[in-house]
């Protein structure tokens, strides 16, 4: 593969490394942004470990002699029927708990466009293009596998388009890989844009029985919520009821309820007001600090627990599942489609704009991240349920394929990235060096 135009030699002083410029892609961000991203990734890494644990427990229970207990628990219904909210626990997890996950996705996306990496077109074009390529190519591969098949298999075209950042970070933690700051920033930005595309897909392609009056009714609490947060009001007893009302009306409107989380996230101001006496921490940052541990540590793992459990039926059952064109399309799309889409688009955009990689990055590193993007889990499972219905044969086969494709992608990415870990450790040491003792690593203080 092509190598970076100005590689840093082992042992080279960071003072000689290239600094970010308009002609560079994957250059490191500012030190405050670096620290913010690092804090997010730490939380998501812990969440990824819990996600893995919840998935393993669900699979073991669903394939044990006590499997009936797992499915009975998943299907227990609670809620208030007159409001059409008597839902199963699995449904509450996918519609309710994931709304918190998508609220944070909305917050992060808005922050990226207002104050983060995506506010600068020159820095945004590559991760945005990579995310689009990582959606389009897997979708096309899935469609190719399912063209001409009987039934509704084409409904699952969007299943392999999502990347699970928490699961990907858990894999990086397991293989003890020390990615440079530029790669971590790219991975998070890619995942944020990927989430935006997934939100749009869910809203436009998986909404059924649209109820315009309910959708209009949702605008009332959403408008009140927006007014309060724009006034920097942080009182949970005012914001939470309005958020729940917005979620309830969106749920009743026929649009998937997680979209309410995104709309609420978009309403929150990113920057601090700067007024005297106001907290320096912006409201978006405040809410993120409050909710991200809940999302990563509880909401997403609980969703995974109720969604990942599928009766595999032994080797024969797994073989039958993977012979389904739905499953074949998903596995091929995750393993091949994501890698080709993310890496190919990144390479084309970089070369056509005559940009060059940062000196700490090589093309093989980007290929490793492209493989890692094939880990689709949380949103893929959600779209699988929306495509085929919970408990259907195609949905069960899709779950097996999502797990298989994600595992293969993780193993391939681990091989590529682990082979580069020695280089990553050197770059990390350069990024942490603070010879002048001012509390800011030298490589950032000179940017």
The count of C-alpha atoms lying within 13 angstroms of the C-alpha of 73, restricted to the half-sphere facing its C-beta, is: 14
**Structure confidence at residue 9 (pLDDT):** 41
Residue 108 CB neighbours (<10 A): 23
What was the pLDDT predicted at 2? 44
pLDDT tens series, the chain, 447 aa: 444 444 444 434 333 343 444 456 666 667 777 777 777 777 777 888 888 899 999 999 999 999 999 999 999 999 888 777 888 998 899 889 989 988 998 888 888 888 776 777 777 788 889 999 999 999 999 999 998 887 789 999 999 988 887 778 777 777 766 777 778 778 888 888 888 888 889 888 887 778 889 999 999 999 999 999 999 898 999 999 999 999 999 999 988 888 999 999 999 998 766 666 555 567 888 898 889 889 988 998 999 899 888 887 766 767 777 788 999 999 999 999 999 999 999 999 888 877 777 777 889 999 999 999 999 888 898 899 889 987 788 888 999 999 999 999 999 999 998 888 888 888 777 777 777 767 677 676 655
pLDDT at residue 8 in the model: 42
Helix (H, G, I), strand (E, B) or coil at 87: strand
Half-sphere exposure of 200 (CA within 13 A, CB side): 9
C-alpha to C-alpha distances, 347 to 4, 29, 195, 343, 373, nearest whole angstrom: 12, 21, 22, 6, 16
Angstrom distance (rounded) from CA 313 to CA 317: 4
Question: pLDDT at position 37, please?
Answer: 74
**376 vs 403, 434, 445, CA distance in Å?**
8, 38, 37
**Predicted local distance difference test score (pLDDT) of residue 278:** 59
What residues pair up with 356 in beta bridges, in sequence order?
24
At residue 21, the pLDDT reads 42
Per the DSSP assignment, residues forming a β-bridge with 25 are 357
pTM of the shown model: 0.82
The tokens for 61 are 């229970």
Nearest-angstrom CA–CA distance, 322 and 337:
17
* Burial degree of 231 (CB within 10 A; 0-12, 13-18, 19+): exposed
Are 181 and 41 in contact by the 8 Å Cβ rule? The answer is: no
Query: For residue 140, what pLDDT is reported?
Result: 96
Give the distance, in angstroms, between the CA of residue 146 and the centroid of all CA atoms in the same chain: 26
């Amino acid at each position: 593969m092509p190598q970076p135009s100005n590689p840093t030699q082992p042992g080279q002083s960071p003072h000689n490394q290239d600094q970010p410029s308009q002609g560079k892609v994957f250059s490191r961000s500012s030190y405050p942004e670096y620290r913010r991203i690092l804090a997010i990734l730490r939380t998501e890494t812990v969440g990824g470990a819990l996600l893995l644990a919840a998935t393993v427990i669900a699979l073991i229970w669903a394939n044990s002699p006590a499997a009936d207990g797992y499915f009975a628990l998943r299907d227990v219904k609670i809620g208030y029927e007159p409001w059409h909210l008597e839902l199963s626990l699995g449904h509450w997890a996918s519609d309710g708990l994931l709304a918190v996950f998508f609220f944070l996705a909305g917050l992060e996306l808005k922050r990226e466009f207002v104050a983060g990496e995506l506010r600068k077109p020159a820095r945004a074009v590559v991760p945005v293009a990579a995310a689009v390529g990582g959606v389009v190519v897997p979708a096309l591969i899935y469609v190719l596998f399912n063209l001409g098949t009987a039934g509704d298999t084409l409904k699952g075209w969007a299943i392999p388009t999502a990347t699970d950042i928490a699961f990907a970070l858990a894999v990086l933690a397991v293989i003890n890989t020390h990615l440079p700051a530029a790669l971590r920033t790219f991975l998070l930005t890619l995942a944020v844009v990927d989430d935006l595309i997934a939100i749009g897909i869910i809203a436009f392609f998986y909404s059924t029985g649209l109820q315009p009056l309910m959708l209009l009714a949702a605008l009332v609490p959403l408008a009140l919520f927006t007014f309060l947060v724009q006034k920097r009001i942080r009182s949970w007893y005012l914001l939470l009821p309005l958020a729940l009302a917005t979620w309830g009306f969106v749920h009743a409107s026929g649009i998937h309820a997680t979209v309410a989380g995104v709309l609420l996230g978009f309403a929150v101001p990113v920057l601090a007001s700067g007024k005297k006496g106001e907290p320096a921490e912006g409201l978006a940052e405040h809410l993120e600090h409050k909710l991200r541990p809940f999302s990563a540590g509880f909401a997403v793992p609980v969703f995974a627990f109720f969604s990942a459990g599928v009766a595999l039926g032994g080797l024969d059952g797994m073989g039958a599942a993977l012979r389904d064109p739905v499953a074949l399309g998903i596995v091929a799309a995750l393993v091949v489609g994501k890698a080709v889409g993310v890496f190919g688009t990144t390479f084309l955009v970089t070369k056509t704009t005559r940009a060059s990689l940062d000196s700490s990055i090589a093309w093989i590193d980007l290929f490793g991240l492209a493989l890692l993007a094939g880990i689709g889990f949380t949103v893929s499972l959600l779209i699988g349920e929306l495509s085929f219905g919970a408990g259907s044969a195609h949905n069960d086969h899709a779950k097996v394929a999502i797990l298989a494709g994600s595992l293969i992608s993780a193993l391939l990415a681990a091989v590529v990235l682990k082979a580069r870990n020695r280089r990553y450790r050197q770059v990390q040491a350069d990024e942490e060096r603070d010879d002048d003792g001012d509390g800011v690593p030298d490589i950032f203080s000179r940017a």
